[in-house]
Chains A and B, each alone.
Chain A
Amino acid sequence: MEFNIINPVSVKELLGAVKKEKHFRFGAGCTDLLMELRKKPDEGLTVINLAQVKDNSFTGIKKSAKGIRMGAMFTAHQIVMNEELKKTFPVLHDSAHNLASTQIRQVATVGGNLCTASPSGDIACALVALRADCELLNTTQKTRTVNISTFFTGVRQTALKPNEVLYGISIPANHKNTKNNYSGFIKVGTRRSMECSVVSLAYHIQVNVEGKILKAGVAIGASAPTVRLAESACDFLIGKTFKNITQKEKEEFADKVLSYASPITDIRATAWYRKEVLYNISKSIFE
């Protein structure tokens, strides 16, 4: 495994490097990249190491009336340790907490999790359920915002253009009338750590004081070429009272979630198993 490495220390230097380099990959925590390069060496590759970029907009977190914005280099560990995120978006906290291991969470970044664009990305799945926006910065210092659902275009493919870098992720604030939301991340695998999701389900269901569902975000992981928002399942919930969801409605909801799944059979599980489990864990949200 051999590659050149560039270490920009500011966003300006970073954009300069992107402009200059022809054959490059971004390295954030490098937890996926190094494994990939070891398996498939890429001759003449330059890794633009993002870990030295100091700009707070790229590494920090900021709260506003509109929501919370994390820089792309915000780490899984920082997500886990952030009390505000834990309180406001439990699904995000859970997804980061379930990621790999303590050691890997120290370096793994939210931007890396998104740009790897793995169908089984855990933080990615949570952010889809949260309907987050991705902020892309190009070499002319212009930003554009794409919704996370359109950010993923295929297995390990994203909407990023060659002259762009993922700059930050914004999560819209919860509905102002909500209280005690139902939010969580269900990861199915065989180990409790160092596990790649066999199936995952992220849900962020916002309810008002009476428990009526005002907004819902439900995303599935490891069940389709990309993480997917189960839009019709989300719509199905609006207006219903969470605690009063009937057995029949649970099943209808689970069926709707399942309709977004087109899982594959691989070494970790069969498509049959993934569907079966996705259906079950979808129901389990209400149990």
Chain B
Amino acid sequence: MKPKLKVIGTSVPKQDAGMRVTGKAIYGHDIKLQGMLYGAILRTEHPSAIIESIDTSAARKLEGVYCVITADDVDVNNIGYKRDHPILKKGEANCTRDEIAAVAAETKEIAKQALKLIKVKYKVRKGIYDVHEALKEQAPQINKFISGKFSNKNIAETFHYEHGNLEEEKKKSAHIVSRKFTLPRMTHACMATSNVTASYNMLDKKLLLYSSTQVPFLYQRDMAHALKMNPSDIRVIQPIIGGGFGSKLDIHPFEPICALLSIKTGKPVQILYSREEEFIASPIRQPMEIELTAGVDKDGNFTFREINIVKDNGAYTSWGATTPFVIMQSFSSLYKLKACRFNATAVYTNNVFAGSFRGYGNPQATFALERVIDLLADKLGMDKAEIRLKNANEKGEVTGQGLHYDTCGHKECLDTVIKKSKYHSFRNSDNGTLRNTNKNESTNNGSRFKKGIGLASMLHVGGGAKIYRSDGCGTTIKIDPYGYCTIITGSNEIGQGSETVLAMMASEELGIDLKKIKVINTDTDVKPWDVGVHASRTSFVAGNSLLGAIKILKEKLNKKAGELLKSDDTAYEYENGNIYPLRNTNINESTNTENKASKLTKEIANTDSYIRNDSDFVKLDKVVREMHFTEPNELAVANFFYEPSSKFQDKDFKGNVSGSYAFAAQAIEVEVDTYTGNVKVTDIYVAQDVGKVLNPLLLGGQIEGGILQGVGYALTEELLMHEGKILNPNFHNYKMLTAADIPNIHFFPIETNDKEGPYGAKGVGEAPLIPTAAAIANAVCNALGLEVIDLPITPEKVMKALASKNTETIQTKNK
């Protein structure tokens, strides 16, 4: 029998919530160092131009200016996933973000003024802003730093994957649907704008960076490569981070630029983006065209999928170019599938380049896939819920790509949202009209408001993703002589609440009050290795790492407790700062027959054979003091490095890339106003296989935040561009949704208790937004009887679609 969990599964508020809401939290923008200068960056005036000359003489002469740098003043390496991105541009500009020069000055105002004094002569070029133009033979090569191993000079990266016999499955298909979908640029729009503070010490030649990176150890290495330094001479400290969502996975030019300004001046330098700069110069979700052809046999079994994706890489290659790792996973392995052929090509253009963004290509893939599933169901005349349930993934399944579903809540997620949303009474799946509504005005026959419901599900890594040499995380844990615990974890906190969940785990296992637990996670000089915050991995990987460290520590504590209690028992219970021996009454009883959850979590006590006497204990702090201060004088400290059981994928992209897999389904109800084209999302039913709920409050936050991001992706958010320039670099015209737009969210966590996860938990961070746009698109199609082929579904697009559907109406209105 498992002991009841006391902390895990409860709604503990985020540890730094009080600091954040009272304004006491120290963000990068709040850092002020002695003698600090302010850096500013001059960006190109033209997205594509020859840089004929740069004259910085006037700027250098301005009082208060300490340093002006251009590409000619620095000796650095390129950055980026393909090392195709110069920190400062020389000779040509290829993107509206391009950094031409940088200034460090006493004040922000002087720095800005200095930028105005820099004279750059450009020879403007036409530029290439369309991927298909870029692939034409006569197109000039946009990025000159690539090896040229691809068939076309403007291809940055390609991916090819396949499993099964595609031609055979095509023949078996009763219906085949083919569509091309276009996905927009969406930006993270983090509440805290990009920031970095660099402080170079000329005496020891070491560099200290206060940075909002999500991946401090990769950042340290990339920064060292860029600056031609030794990584260990760079110390990265993360202040409180005001939003990441993937945007801080790449290193961006402003960061080494800030370091260079500090190195040149010997003074600390800070660069803070304005909101406009944030919109222009921070990464985006990669725009792409997805051509999907998919088949189904006469019984409704999915047969094959053939996918061709062209991604607009922009001028330089970021981690965003690797999103096909995730995209192909959904196409190959979401729902049972016999054959799949996948091609993705990232193409250079003079547009802004992408980065990684929550979901990592998966919202795009899921949108295309779930839209086509609706179309296949229509062709078959099959219920849209039924076709999904029929093909849903199952526990024990090994997919064509080699993903092992040791636990799988796919069917249960679908079932839950179908039932909870009363999907079938809401919808008549044959013609998309309503069968049952309460309000007269809501019936779909000729009335203004049309209601619809849509379904979508998703698959995502739930136990990290092995894309780097290690997907691991290190932990050091110590308990001090006063019974306080310090967790030094390699993992980072970017707002997701990992520090709280880790403290909860330690509290659960060690019986220490949460107030006595500190989490140290911000300093590369202190903390052990971790690959970073991405792939919904932190609670899973860092959690397992912590539990491993606790297990080692407990062995030490148990031994000392045994000595003090003069007991030879092996099992102990930790609670209220005390250690209780569990006296064994039945020597033959097996102790962990029902341990289904993590191997690393609470030791299993069979209450039939182990008895705890509440007056029989020793205080934890006493045990620690005795360890420290009596022979053999041992520290109450333990280290552990956890590496997930996942494997690298082979050259064909096959293999079990994650420790576990998360599933989710959403059923979304919309009401479309045919007078204005506005789509109102009324209700979202979400079921997500989270493995195990660790903290309902924080989980709810991930769900709500993710969903609103998904609604934005579906309906309103798009970074608009014209010939390489961003047209809406402000919240006024970039329509990020606000709290007032949150629909009714009905959340149903599905617990599958994966043995790999801490307490059975899986990663949850990205999943909530992944199926949202797909389900909304399906709901809009259901409401209007129209097809959605691109995002966002703006009011204007809806009105245009309605107008072309009914020419008679147009004529009436246009007279």
Contacts and interface: CB of A to CB of B under 8 A. Distances in A.
A287 B448 contact: yes
A255 to B, nearest CB: 7
Interface in A263-280: 267-270, 273, 275-277, 279-280
Contacts of A101: 738, 740
Contact of B796 (A191, A193, A196, A270): A270
B795 interface: yes
A281 interface: yes
Given A188-B676, A267-B733, A284-B675, A273 B795 contact: yes
B677 interface: yes
Instruction: Output the residue of A194, A199, A255, A269 with the most chain B CB within 10 A.
Output: A194
A33 B381 CA distance: 58
B490 to A, nearest CB: 39
Interface in B676-705: 676-678
Nearest to B679: A190
B812 A191 contact: no
B731 A277 contact: no
A86 interface: no
Contacts of A188: 676, 678, 795
B245 to A, nearest CB: 19
Contact of A192 (B676, B731, B740, B796): B740
B735 interface: yes
B735 A276 contact: no
A190 B738 contact: no
A260 to B, nearest CB: 16
Which of B448, B675, B737, B739 has its CB near the most chain A CB atoms (within 10 A)?
B675
Interface in B791-811: 794-796, 799-800, 803
Contacts of A281: 675-676
B741 A191 contact: yes
B675 A277 contact: yes
Contacts, number: 66
B794 A276 contact: no
A249 interface: no
B737 A276 contact: no
Contacts of A277: 675-677, 795, 799
A198 B812 CA distance: 22
B469 interface: no
Given A251-B812, A287-B448, A190 B716 contact: yes
B720 A190 contact: no
B731 A194 contact: yes
A280 B676 contact: yes
Contacts of B448: 284, 287
A270 B799 CA distance: 11
B728 interface: yes
Interface in B720-768: 720, 727-728, 731-733, 735, 737-741
Contacts of A268: 733
Interface in A237-271: 251, 255, 267-270
B813 interface: yes
Contacts of B675: 277, 280-281, 283-284
A188 B799 CA distance: 13
Contacts of B715: 190
Contacts of B815: 255
A47 to B, nearest CB: 19
A287 B674 CA distance: 14
A271 to B, nearest CB: 11
Interface residues of A, number: 27
Given A196-B732, A279-B813, A190 B678 contact: yes
B813 A276 contact: yes
Contact of B741 (A35, A192, A276, A284): A192
A273 B716 contact: no
B188 to A, nearest CB: 18
Size bracket of the B interface: 20 to 34
A68 B660 CA distance: 66
A287 B738 CA distance: 30
Contacts of A270: 796
B794 to A, nearest CB: 7
Contacts of B733: 267-268
A191 B735 contact: yes
Contacts of A255: 815
A285 B560 CA distance: 80
Given A188-B676, A267-B727, A193 B740 contact: yes
B134 to A, nearest CB: 25
Contacts of B727: 267
Nearest to B810: A276
A251 B716 CA distance: 30
Contacts of A198: 795
B256 to A, nearest CB: 29
B450 to A, nearest CB: 14
Choose among B733, B796, B812 the residue with the greatest number of A CB atoms under 10 Å from its CB. B796
Counting chain B CB atoms within 10 Å of each CB, the highest count among A101, A190, A275 belongs to: A190
A276 B740 contact: no
Contacts of B739: 193
Nearest to A195: B735
Contacts of A269: 795-796
A273 B799 contact: yes
Contacts of A287: 448
Nearest to B797: A273
Contacts of A35: 732
Contacts of B795: 188, 190, 198, 269, 273, 277
A267 B720 contact: yes
Nearest to A268: B733
Interface in A62-105: 101
A191 B716 contact: yes
Contacts of A276: 799, 803, 813
A194 B738 contact: yes
Interface of A: 35, 101, 188, 190-194, 196, 198-199, 251, 255, 267-270, 273, 275-277, 279-281, 283-284, 287
Interface of B: 448, 674-678, 715-716, 720, 727-728, 731-733, 735, 737-741, 794-796, 799-800, 803, 812-815
List the 8 closest pairs (A to B, CB-CB), nearest first: A280-B675, A193-B740, A192-B740, A273-B796, A190-B716, A190-B735, A188-B676, A193-B738
Given A188-B678, A190-B794, A192-B740, 11 more contacts: A188-B676, A194-B738, A255-B815, A267-B720, A267-B727, A267-B728, A269-B796, A277-B676, A280-B674, A283-B675, A287-B448
20 contacts: A188-B678, A190-B716, A190-B794, A191-B716, A191-B738, A192-B738, A193-B739, A193-B740, A198-B795, A267-B720, A267-B733, A273-B677, A273-B796, A275-B813, A276-B799, A276-B813, A280-B674, A280-B676, A281-B676, A284-B675
